[in-house]
A and B are shown apart, each in its own frame.
Chain A
Amino acid sequence: MKPPRLSPQTLRVLERFIERPTAWRYGYELSRETGLKSGTLYPILMRLAKYSLLETKWVTTEDGVPPRHTYRLTPDGAAFVRSALPATRAGLKVRRVAFSGGRA
């Protein structure tokens, strides 16, 4: 399957995941760390999960509190991020330079 398009917002999410690749992350936690609203964050998570770059799990935290959906990168996902992230970052940097009139 063709990997998903890496928008700046997707990159922000992937950067958070790759910081601790084995840790399970909550949606609200990711939202706070990336500054993305739920309407932006969840489509990204759904897309990453659809391409099997992300695995999901329901976890029960404490009594009386509904189970939470948690996410972490799959091995394929981690490999993809490691290979794609530097190149995409470089591309973004070049674009930023171009649009800032030569000042990096």
Chain B
Amino acid sequence: MIPAAAPRTVAIALLRFAIWIAPHDTLDWGHAMLNELSHVEGNWSALIWSLGGAGVLAKHAVLAFLFPGPDRRTVSTASELFAKESPMRKTTLAVIASCVAASLLFFLVPVFRQAFQVSLAQWHDVLHVKSQISFAGPDTDPELDALAKKAEQNHDAEALAFVAVRHPNEAERVRLADEAVHLDPNLTWVYAVNGAVELTSNGTERLSTLQQWDPQNALPHLLAAQKIGVTVTHSKEFPLGKVEESPAWEAEMAAAFQSPKLDTYLDRQKQLDHRVLSRYHLDDPFQAASDENWYGFPSYGVSYCYLYAQSLLQSGQALESRGDRKAAFEKYSEVARFGELMRADDELTFFMNRPLKEAYSRLGALSRTEGNEAAAAFEGALADGVDKTAEREHALLQSRFSGSEVSHWNAFLVRLSGLSILLCAVLLLLCALGVVIRNRSLRLGSLLPSRLTLTLGFAAAVGALLASAVLFVSYRPYAKLLQRFLSKGDDAHLPELSAFLRDARLPLGSQFHLGPESWYVGAWQIVFYFWLVLTISCVIALAIAIFRHYQMRPRPAASA
């Protein structure tokens, strides 16, 4: 319950504060309103009285700041100033200085520097408007270029592979991958991960190198199938698409489906990342845990696998109808076997569930036809198992890509606090600049801030300190996850860190949500509105500056 006298207490405090920020020529009026307060009947009426009065004084304070007219008297000498409000002003200046110093002290902590770096990532899209328009990223990365140079000097194949996976320039990626493989042939898998096969026209040579290096793996065949490509037609009969006849493509897909293993090289890459990051003492979380660095699987691989599995199931059905149950069994088994290979990979399992279930169901039906009830029951159970695990896998995949609510919130806080720190810093600089311009001097002794400047500076300093503390607290758990990966190679929580970093990269205001009701507020709209608001603000500031210039210009004295 609110104490009866509380509104009156608030009213007095509010008016006192308004008087404090009010320009000199309105002080009498401020005190008039304050003194009249003790005659106002009723505590709530007093508060309403105070709100009105404070509004009037605040308006005059803002006007005095924007348009310091000739009749607005400012405090001109230190003696006049400190005779009246020395303690208050000195205390405020001390608080401002302490808050700024404390905020700067945060930068001595490495975790905070990292957090600040992450909070700045949201500006990447805003400042690289060209890449937003052309959908092409920057062509160079100074940090990666420096690392590549160092790696070349040291003949460090692993570091070259590390950069080859991340470099924004395609030609450079391929060159560095070639160099890494030349130094250490055990790194040939880099060709599959960094797009050296997919992106370049002369990738066939590298593809055959990869196939020779890892002949048991299905992945090089999937890459080859992707390179060949295939036409897919959609019809009522085949709503999900039907592949046009292409013997070369089918041969590669058949080889992939018959391969004894499917390795996306993701584990090798994580281990290599860990070693290189530790070796070069790199602690950039985006280099360590960003999803963008992990291709894992050729982009068309999943859909090609699905389409080829469907075509195998159809041809198996056709063989079955012709009475060739043995050949049909082979086709269904091929789908089931490759489906299980894909299920072994956490990220790929979801995409083959449907053909896998169908393959098991048909295998069960075939076994039943042949009177093998035990096999039929087993295959039926496997088909049911696919359904049961699909839901769990879907939830896992969703959390893998969309991250937890906690991560969303932390990413939001990191972006907000980073932005607040920048805004507070700009405001503090403007206040300092305003004081220098107002006093037309750089001597500390003669720099006397107005009350409004002092209030703004105080708010900015306290804001910067609070935002620094929030940034530090919000980011700290993720710094620990990163540290665990860098020091021990523990990658169990990297998906959480990746989801957090993915959110942290989006400009504040843009967000996506993966789930039953997916939505996305694009970064492009935010970038557009950011520049629009900035341009309008600059125009307004320019107009005010011109107005003030003409207002304050000394006028020639009238001739007698």
Contact = CB atoms under 8 A, between A and B. Distances in A.
Interface of A: 26-28, 31, 37-43, 45-46, 56, 65-69
A69 B329 CA distance: 103
Q: Which 10 A-B pairs have the closest CB atoms?
A: A39-B52, A69-B32, A38-B52, A66-B35, A37-B52, A38-B53, A27-B36, A38-B49, A28-B36, A39-B55
B26 A69 contact: no
Interface of B: 26, 28-29, 31-36, 38-40, 48-53, 55-56
B26 A28 contact: no
A28 B48 contact: no
A84 B29 CA distance: 26
B53 A69 contact: no
Contact of B53 (A39, A65, A66, A67): A39
A26 B36 CA distance: 8
B42 to A, nearest CB: 12
A28 B39 contact: yes
B31 A28 contact: no
Nearest to A42: B56
A28 B28 contact: no
A41 B50 CA distance: 12
Nearest to A37: B52
A31 B53 CA distance: 12
B39 A68 contact: yes
Contacts of A67: 35
Contacts of A39: 51-53, 55-56
A37 B35 CA distance: 16
A69 B26 CA distance: 13
A11 to B, nearest CB: 20
Contacts of A42: 29, 32-33, 52-53, 56
27 contacts: A26-B36, A26-B39, A27-B33, A37-B48, A37-B52, A38-B33, A38-B49, A38-B50, A38-B53, A38-B56, A39-B51, A39-B56, A40-B52, A41-B52, A42-B32, A42-B33, A42-B52, A42-B53, A45-B29, A46-B26, A46-B29, A46-B56, A56-B28, A56-B32, A66-B38, A69-B28, A69-B29
Does more than half of chain B's interface fall in helix, strand or loop, or is it mixed? helix
A62 B51 CA distance: 26
Contacts of A41: 52
Contacts of A31: 49
B12 to A, nearest CB: 11
A37 B51 CA distance: 10
Contacts of A38: 33, 36, 48-50, 52-53, 56
Does more than half of chain A's interface fall in helix, strand or loop, or is it mixed? helix
Contacts of A68: 32, 35-36, 39
A9 to B, nearest CB: 13
A5 to B, nearest CB: 17
A42 B53 CA distance: 7
A39 B29 CA distance: 12
A43 B26 CA distance: 10
Contacts of B56: 38-39, 42-43, 46
Contacts of B39: 26, 28, 68
A39 B48 CA distance: 9
A15 to B, nearest CB: 21
Given A28-B36, A66-B34, A68-B39, 7 more contacts: A38-B48, A38-B50, A39-B52, A43-B56, A68-B36, A69-B28, A69-B29
Contacts of B33: 27, 38, 42
Contacts of B40: 28
A19 B50 CA distance: 28
A38 B38 CA distance: 14
Contacts of B51: 39
Nearest to A27: B36
Contacts of B49: 28, 31, 37-38
B349 to A, nearest CB: 66
B329 to A, nearest CB: 88
B492 to A, nearest CB: 61
Contacts of B52: 37-42
A66 B31 CA distance: 10
Contacts of B50: 38
A4 to B, nearest CB: 15
B520 to A, nearest CB: 45
Nearest to B39: A28
Which interface residue of A38, A39, A65 has the most chain B CB atoms within 10 A?
A38
B48 A65 contact: no
Contacts of B31: 69
A29 B153 CA distance: 87
Nearest to A38: B52
B36 A65 contact: no
A39 B33 CA distance: 10
Nearest to A43: B56
Contacts of B35: 66-69
B454 to A, nearest CB: 24
Contact of A65 (B28, B29, B38): B38
Contacts of B53: 38-39, 42
B28 to A, nearest CB: 7
Contacts of B38: 65-66
B48 A27 contact: no
Contacts of A46: 26, 29, 56
Contacts of A26: 36, 39
A8 to B, nearest CB: 18
B404 to A, nearest CB: 48
A31 B40 CA distance: 10
A47 to B, nearest CB: 11
Contacts of A27: 32-33, 36
Nearest to B55: A39
Contacts of B36: 26-28, 38, 68-69
B14 to A, nearest CB: 12
